[in-house]
């Protein structure tokens, strides 16, 4: 026994450190040899070609399938890279995709919980002015590489809430379907009702222009038929536009439920006013803010990247900068407020919601800059923003 006690294996012996140092030295030498072999190319550029989803590289994903949902919506199935950290149902992911030689970034809800194959999916609705959404719905092809950021967002199910109401419209169903699919998986035998969803009492009020245009219509009907949810489907062409003031008629126990809502700003604003009036709790996820009061526009200088972008008075700085190929911080299209805020050093911007002007004057305003939300502001003349 004494002979074993005198043999010290582990960190204290220094052997572990020596082995690690040897591996690091070998790895460093192998990399130098590889870099010399591919010169004048960069080694990472070569690895991007042969192993774009590798660990340690930029986070990317490969489109593996495109599934049409309606005439103007499709689910994009993506295999994420090795460094994908996973997500919670209801969260969103920012995706970068090259369209006509320009990289655009957009945020989309993840429409599944964690999957056995490790894939993720987003469901995109093409909008009339949506350059990126139209490309994804009608032009995305399996094999295409996209850039990814890690999942984010707080529009997720609280574990303590039993009685829930989801109010959704159009593509606002996308984060909600991810939560429902995670609670109640669908199989060839039908919708399952596992214990994790057994104590939930869920009502879904979903609004769509028509039944054929209702994203995930079949999924919602199947969930309703299985008793997982109670579905209140409202179609504009059959029932007219939903009057939020009558929502209590559809959900008599509204006051007992925690309401989650996702959809156009008009509906959310009306629902917010209704719930405030009645003292009810509301948690919202919003895709786009309302825009009014276009201004004069101007040149925005992004000082950190030394880039100038000419922007008209009706286009948010965020949208125009992304269209110019700049990677901008945001979560704004999903209602994650203040994620797009940047300091303006000089100049003026106009709030597209109400026309309010914000001005930064060197020597008079905060030397660190005046913080502006790039998702709702357009330039009112020339201005300089740190990026």
| pLDDT score for 140 | 94
Do 54 and 82 meet the contact criterion of CB atoms below 8 Å apart?
Answer: yes
Which residue among 113, 148, 183 closes a domain?
A: 148
Measured distance CA(328)–CA(343) in Å, rounded: 13
What's the number of domains the chain is made of? Answer: 4
Shared domain check, 18 and 95: no
293 occurs within a structural domain: no
Domain extent, residue 244, equals: 163-286
Please state whether the predicted TM-score (pTM) of the whole model is above 0.75: no
Burial class (CB in 10 A: 0-12, 13-18, 19+), 91: buried
Q: Which residues contact 231 (CB under 8 A, 6 or more apart)?
A: 203, 204, 206, 220, 221, 223, 224
Q: In the 8-state DSSP scheme, what is residue 46? A: H
Task: Name beta bridge partners: 311.
Answer: 298
Task: Starting at the earlier edge strand, list the strands of the sheet with 201-208.
Answer: 230-235, 201-208, 163-169, 258-263, 282-286
Shared domain check, 282 and 167: yes
Shared domain check, 281 and 303: no
DSSP line for 155-213: ----TT--EEEEEEEGGGHHHHHHHHHHHS-EETTEE---HHHHT-EEEEEEEESSSTT
Shared domain check, 281 and 195: yes
Residue 175 dihedral angles phi and psi, to the nearest 5°: -70, -30
Q: Which residue numbers in the chain have pLDDT < 50? A: 1-15, 43, 46, 289-294
| pLDDT score for 387 | 82
Shared domain check, 115 and 204: no
132 occurs within a structural domain: yes
Shared domain check, 305 and 256: no
Both structure tokens of 143? 């094999």
Peptide bond into 55 cis (omega under 30): no
Burial class (CB in 10 A: 0-12, 13-18, 19+), 379: buried
Shared domain check, 251 and 215: yes
156 occurs within a structural domain: no
292 occurs within a structural domain: no
154 occurs within a structural domain: no
Measured distance CA(87)–CA(94) in Å, rounded: 12
Both structure tokens of 9? 């294996």
| pLDDT score for 226 | 95
Helix (H, G, I), strand (E, B) or coil at 276: helix
| pLDDT score for 90 | 94
> Tell me, what CATH number does 206's domain have?
3.40.50.80
DSSP line for 50-114: H-TT-TTS--EEEEEEEEEEETTEEEEEEEE-TT-----TT-EEEEEEEETTEEEEEEEEB-SS-
| pLDDT score for 272 | 94
Shared domain check, 176 and 226: yes
């Amino acid at each position: 026994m004494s002979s074993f006690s005198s043999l010290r294996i582990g960190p204290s012996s220094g052997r572990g450190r020596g082995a690690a140092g040897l591996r690091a030295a070998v790895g460093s030498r192998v990399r130098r040899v590889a870099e010399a072999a591919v010169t004048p190319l960069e080694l990472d550029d070569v690895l991007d070609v042969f192993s774009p989803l590798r660990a340690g590289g930029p986070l990317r994903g490969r489109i593996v399938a495109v599934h049409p949902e309606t005439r103007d919506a499709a689910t994009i199935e993506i295999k994420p890279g090795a460094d994908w950290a996973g997500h919670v149902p209801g969260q969103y992911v920012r995706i970068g995709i090259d369209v006509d030689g320009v990289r655009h970034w957009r945020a989309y809800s993840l429409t599944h919980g964690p999957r056995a194959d490790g894939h993720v999916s987003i469901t995109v609705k093409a909008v009339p002015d949506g350059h990126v959404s139209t490309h994804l719905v009608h032009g995305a092809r399996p094999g295409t590489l996209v850039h990814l950021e890690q999942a984010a967002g707080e529009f997720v199910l609280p574990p303590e809430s039993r009685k829930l109401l989801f109010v959704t419209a159009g593509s606002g169903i996308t984060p909600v379907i991810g939560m429902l699919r995670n609670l109640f998986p669908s199989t060839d035998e039908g919708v399952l009702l596992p214990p994790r969803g057994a104590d939930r009492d869920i009502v879904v009020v979903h609004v769509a222009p028509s039944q054929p245009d209702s994203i995930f219509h079949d999924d919602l009907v199947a969930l309703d038929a299985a008793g997982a949810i109670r579905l209140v489907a409202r179609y504009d062409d059959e029932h007219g536009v939903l009057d939020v003031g009558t929502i209590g008629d559809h959900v008599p126990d509204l006051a007992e439920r925690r309401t989650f809502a996702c959809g156009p700003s008009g509906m959310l604003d009306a629902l917010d006013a209704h719930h405030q009036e009645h003292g009810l709790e509301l948690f919202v996820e919003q895709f786009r803010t309302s825009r009014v009061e276009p201004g004069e526009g101007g040149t925005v200088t992004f000082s950190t990247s030394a880039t100038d972008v000419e922007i008209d008075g009706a286009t948010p700085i965020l949208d125009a900068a992304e269209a110019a190929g700049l990677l901008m911080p945001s979560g704004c299209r999903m209602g994650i407020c203040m994620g797009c805020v940047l300091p303006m050093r000089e100049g003026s911007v106009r709030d597209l919601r109400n026309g309010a002007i914000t001005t930064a004057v060197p020597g008079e305003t905060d030397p660190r800059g005046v913080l502006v939300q790039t998702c709702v502001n357009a330039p009112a003349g020339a201005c300089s923003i740190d990026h």
